[in-house]
Amino acid sequence: MQCGTCSVICNLSPAEKPFPRKEMIWAGWGLKDKLLSDPDIWLCLQCGDCTTTCPRGVKPGDVLASLRNFSYLHYARPKFLAKLLSKPKYLPVVIAIPIIFILTIIYFAGTLTIPEGVVNYSKFFPHLYLNISFSILLFLMIIGMIKSIKVFQKDLKKNTAFKKHKNSLLRCFISAIKEILTHEKFNKCRYHKYRYYTHLMVFWGFIILLIVTIFAIIAVVFFEYPLSLWNPVKIASNFAAFLLFTGLTVMIYNRIVNKSFAGNSNYMDWVFLISIYLLVISGVFVQIARFQNWTIAYHLYTLHLVLDWFVIIYAPYTKFGHFIYRTIAMTYAKYVGRE
């Protein structure tokens, strides 16, 4: 209809060449190159303001979301991993990979039996093996990620629509990070405020857990494992788990019940959401199982590890990759003066 309501209603859209109207027109004409090199699709936080107010029932929010999903596939290196993760029929394969991997390591560590006595996970999967193998995979993941970023950056530069380079790249990056930490932009969405709170919870839950995990890897030296429930590290991680669980529950609920504004969720959305949801739940149960000395504790621990690796190692190839692309696009947008 070309009323432009979507671009007007959007609080995040810049005044010059605003989104999502131009993206909708490009999409209508099938201009794939323009869309993939467009940083604007990453500036959208999918609050649904445009979809809610569109008088024509067009869903610009959903279109941008699927463009982002398409980008994960397009920029992923190696590409086959992203392809595996994008189709339900490959789900057994992608689950099997971390399982086989973990079992193999445990086998080589020589601890492939359920230990007896008080539950102590390091008896099952010695910390040294765990940390080294995990770090190697993380390293590989980061290489893949850097490769993806390079292609993405090259595409962004190809985009000739925005040319005004006037800001320092570093300052832009710091400003983008600041925005991400405070979710300042997210708070500007008009109609569906819950998204701001839930994402803030999940985001900070992750950050805390990331810090705690790094700390835990180093802390092997200082603390005697397993840690007690009242250890500050444990308290922080449980708080993070609480944030994650609550935020994710609301997110999943709305995606199921309120499709009209939460948008249509596809397989990629669900893989990402469910995998972290299960990761959080299994993490909590692993902890309970340890204190309660449940016999299935080690099974739960294996499940938790599988999920953990699934989420972290596949990050650049799933929707989790948004943290990379968004950070870069936000920095770039600031860099070319799109604010």
Partner 1 sequence: MNKKTGVYICSGCEIGKCIDIDALANIAKNEYNTECCINHSFLCNDEGIGIIKKDIAEKKLDAVVIAACSSRVNTSEFSFENNVIIERVNLREQVVWCHPPNDEDTQMLAEDTLRMGIAKTMSILNPEPFIGENLSSDILVIGGGITGITSAIEAAKAGYKIYLVEKSDKLGGWANNLYKQLPQKYPYQQLENPIISDKISEIEKFNNIDIFTSSEIKEISGQPGMFEILISQNGKDKNFRAGSIVMATGWKPYDATKLTEFGYGRFKNIITNVEMEHLAKENNIIKPSDGKPVNSVLFIQCAGSRDNKHLPYCSNFCCGTSLKQAKYIRDFNAESSVFIIYKDIRTPGHYENFYKEIQNDEQIFLTKGDVVDISEENEELIVTVDNTLFDEQIQIKVDLIVLATGMTPANSEELNLNYRLGKGLPLLKYNFPDSHFICFPYETRRTGIYAAGALREPMDITSSIEDAAGATLKAIQCIEATKRGESVHPRSGDKSYPDLYLERCTDCKRCTEECPFGAYDETEKGTPLPNPNRCRRCGICLGACPERIINFSDFSINSISSMIKAVNIPDEFEEKPRVLVFVCENDAYPAFDMAGFKRLQYSAYVRIIPVRCIGSVNNVWISDALSQGFDGILQIGCKPGENYQCHFINGSELTEKRGENISETLEKMMLEPERIKTEFLEINEYHRIPEIINDYIEIIEDIGPNPFKEI
If the CB atoms of residues 162 and 325 are measured against partner 1, the closer one turns out to be 162
If the CB atoms of residues 28 and 232 are measured against partner 1, the closer one turns out to be 28
CB of 204 to partner 1, least distance (A): 39
Question: Which two structure tokens, joined as six digits, stand for 236?
Answer: 């922080």
CB of 12 to partner 1, least distance (A): 19
Number of Cβ within 10 Å of residue 188's Cβ equals 14
CB of 35 to partner 1, least distance (A): 12
CA distance 58 to 64: 12
| Radius of gyration, alpha carbons of the chain | 22
CA distance 14 to 3: 17
The contact set with partner 1 (CB under 8 A) reads 2, 17, 22, 25-26, 28-30, 56
CA distance 319 to 255: 15
If the CB atoms of residues 37 and 175 are measured against partner 1, the closer one turns out to be 37
If the CB atoms of residues 2 and 92 are measured against partner 1, the closer one turns out to be 2
Number of Cβ within 10 Å of residue 191's Cβ equals 14
CB of 24 to partner 1, least distance (A): 9
If the CB atoms of residues 24 and 286 are measured against partner 1, the closer one turns out to be 24
CB of 65 to partner 1, least distance (A): 19
Residue 149 CA from chain centroid, whole number: 15
- Three-class secondary structure of residue 182 per DSSP: helix
* DSSP 8-class letter at 186: G
CA distance 75 to 88: 20
If the CB atoms of residues 2 and 116 are measured against partner 1, the closer one turns out to be 2
CB of 60 to partner 1, least distance (A): 14
Question: Which two structure tokens, joined as six digits, stand for 253?
Answer: 């609920």
CA distance 10 to 188: 9
CB of 29 to partner 1, least distance (A): 5
If the CB atoms of residues 29 and 222 are measured against partner 1, the closer one turns out to be 29
CA distance 339 to 336: 9
Number of Cβ within 10 Å of residue 120's Cβ equals 12
